[in-house]
Amino acid sequence: MPKKRGYHHGNLRQALVEAALQLIEVRGPTGFTLSEAAKQAGVTPAAVYRHFEGREDLIAEAARQGYEIFADLMQYAYDKGQPSALASFEATGRAYLAFARKYPGHYIAMFESGVPVNRTPELAKVAARARGVMERAANDLSQHIAPEKRPPPSMFSAHIWAMSHGVVELYARNSPGTQSPFSPEDLLETGIGVYLRGLGLIGQDA
Amino acid sequence: MPKKRGYHHGNLRQALVEAALQLIEVRGPTGFTLSEAAKQAGVTPAAVYRHFEGREDLIAEAARQGYEIFADLMQYAYDKGQPSALASFEATGRAYLAFARKYPGHYIAMFESGVPVNRTPELAKVAARARGVMERAANDLSQHIAPEKRPPPSMFSAHIWAMSHGVVELYARNSPGTQSPFSPEDLLETGIGVYLRGLGLIGQDA
DNA sequence: TGTACATCAGTGAACGCGCGTTCACTGATGTAC
DNA sequence: TGTACATCAGTGAACGCGCGTTCACTGATGTAC
């Protein structure tokens, strides 16, 4: 709990990140402004420059923290699914959607704010960590596929990543109009199910 | 070809839409401004208001035209695949990516500009038309699945939409960093392939 | 065919706004003695 | 424990900018007779 009293804020840097995340969540990636984030943190816009190089830098930090949480969540899901390769893989897919739901501000900062993932080395690194978890899960899983018909693990992790992202963007946002009778969770669950059956990894009754 | 000479533009409305599309493509959904679109069309910002209610209305029209092209393309792909339900389905999936590639400005206006799809009845209608083609393809295809294990067609059309959209957003944009060793086309092709195998619709050699 | 006039599609100046950023400053905090 | 001083983290005023939008206007076009 930052002490708001007094001239010095105490924890302004993080407070700004959180203000930014909240604004991004409510107003979209465009709606966010540095000035407003400052105001929401109870501080003058100029104060932001003590902690960040500018607007972009603030968003990038929000995205970085998002990737950090995201990677942790993926890792946790992976571990929880172990020792079953299949369970781990499914769990990481589900974690993707769960993250998007639980941390919408972070998600938008990461994927919709236009911040390039290799804007800074730290950002690139943590993003790679998240991707790494999914690829490891895919790699584990590919051991169970007959070698001659085994697609590259990075390929089917990309498939799941793409489907997850698509479900989030098209069906999990409150984008009115693209309504679907199915919940995003169902959509992703069944989608991954069909996909895994296509790989011959689960039976036809699953 | 609009006659640019003279006081009257001749075809300003469409020229503005095209200017907007080009700006959106180059600068992203955020980078586009009404003033700049006007300038690019060789006209004062105020002139825009003879043809559109404002900035939002201009984007919405760009999106609408995009959906129109998109729906036509989907329909064409569907027809071309006929009478094979499978060929039609695969073709519509591929058409999605092809559209995103060929009309990036339209694509961004449609999916990334934040214009809600039911902003106007016309927009909602044409978007529904596009979705309808894909659902018809899914429906045709579902006839080939044993009834008791047949998922709702609107569900697996949603899966393919999601995967297509995800591939476009994550791998087809020049979003540096999310580099993949596979082309978006390959990714989508193989993804759909695995998926269809999962539905039992194609053999293991396909 | 020529003229008068209504309509239309632009202009250009002006507006208020909020933005990101800079700067010299000052109040608060921490440290050395 | 108290004082002097350096450092730090804010302020607040100012900037230039481009935005979307409005308004009264005017030049171009089309039409009636």
- Domains of chain A (ranges; CATH) run 1-52 (1.10.10), 58-198 (1.10.357.10)
Burial of residue A170 (number of CB atoms within 10 Å: 0-12, 13-18, 19+): buried
Under an 8 A CB cutoff, do A30 and B28 touch? no
Examine the pLDDT at A144 and tell me if it is beyond 70. Answer: yes
CB contact under 8 A, B166 and A171: no
Residue of chain A whose alpha carbon sits nearest to that of B29? A30
Cα gap A45→A29, rounded to integer Å:
19
Provide the token pair at B55: 């900035």
Asked if the Cβ–Cβ distance from B161 to A166 is below 8 Å, we say: yes
What is A105-148 written as a DSSP string? HHHHHHHTS---TTSSHHHHHHHHHHHHHHHHHHHHHHTTS-GG
Q: What is the pLDDT of residues A118-143, one digit of tens each?
A: 899 999 999 999 999 999 999 999 99
Residue A179: its chain B contacts at CB < 8 A? none
pLDDT confidence band for A159 (50 / 70 / 90): very high
A7 CB neighbours strand C below 7 A: yes
Residue of B nearest to A174 (CA): B116
Q: Do B177 and A149 touch (CB under 8 A)?
A: no
B50 beta carbon to strand C: under 7 Å: yes
pLDDT of residue B5: 45
* Facing B170 at nearest CB: one of A152, A156, A165: A165
Q: Is the CB of A45 under 7 A from strand C?
A: yes
CA of A36 to C1' of D11 (A): 17
For residues B9 and B42, what is the distance between their CA atoms, to the nearest angstrom? Answer: 9
A206 vs B88, residue with greater confidence: B88
Q: Is the CB of A72 under 7 A from strand C?
A: no
A51/D2 CA-to-C1' distance in Å: 34
Contact B159 A127 (CB under 8 A): no
What pTM, to 2 d.p., does this model score? 0.93
Radius of gyration of chain A (CA): 20
Nucleic acid strand C: bases within 7 A of protein CB: 9-14, 18-24, 27-29
Nearest nt (C1') to A55 (CA)? C20
Q: Mean pLDDT score of chain A, rounded to an integer?
A: 91
Show Cβ contacts of residue A22 under 8 Å, excluding neighbours closer than 6 positions: A40, A105
Furthest-apart CA atoms within chain A: distance in Å? 68
Confidence (pLDDT) at A174: 66
Considering only alpha carbons, which residue of chain B is nearest residue A115? B175
C-alpha count within 13 angstroms, C-beta hemisphere, residue B105: 18
The answer to whether the beta carbon of residue A55 comes closer than 7 angstroms to any atom of strand C is: yes
For position B176, what pLDDT does the model report? 52
- Which of A143-152, B185-194, B196-205 is predicted with the least confidence, judged by mean pLDDT? B196-205
Q: Would the pLDDT of B180 be above 60?
A: yes
Interatomic CA–C1' length for residue A172 and nucleotide C16, angstroms: 38
**pLDDT, position A6:** 58
Helices (H), B41-183: 55-81, 85-102, 104-111, 121-142, 153-167
Closest nucleotide to B49: CA versus each C1': D21
- Whole-number pLDDT of residue B4: 41
pLDDT of A189 higher than 60: yes
Among B28, B1, B192, B200, residue whose Cα is nearest residue B114: B28
Inspect the interface and report whether the beta carbons of B176 and A112 lie closer than 8 Å. no
- Tens-place pLDDT, residues A17-26: 999 999 999 9
- Cβ contact A91:A78 at 8 Å: yes
Residue A5 is predicted with a pLDDT of 46
- Read off the pLDDT of each residue in A82-102 and give the average, rounded to a whole number: 96
Minimal CA separation from A163 to chain B, in Å: 4
Contact B177 A111 (CB under 8 A): no
Q: Please determine, for residue B168, whether its predicted confidence score (pLDDT) is greater than 80.
A: yes
Q: Across residues A49-75, what is the average pLDDT?
A: 97
Note the pLDDT of residue A147. 86
Quote the CA–CA distance of A156 and A48 in Å, as a whole number.
42
B164 neighbourhood in chain A, CB within 8 Å: 166
Q: How confident is the model at residue B114 (pLDDT cuts 50, 70, 90)?
A: confident
pLDDT at A146: 86
Separation of A15 CA and C19 C1' (Å): 21
User: Average of pLDDT values for B83-112?
Assistant: 96
Of B30, B165, B182, the CB nearest to A166: B165
B206 pLDDT higher than 60 = no
- Looking at the predicted structure, is the pLDDT value of residue A205 above 60? no
- For residue B46, pLDDT beyond 90: yes
Could you check: is the Cβ of residue A51 within 7 Å of any atom of nucleic acid strand D? Answer: yes
Q: Is the pLDDT of residue A58 over 50?
A: yes
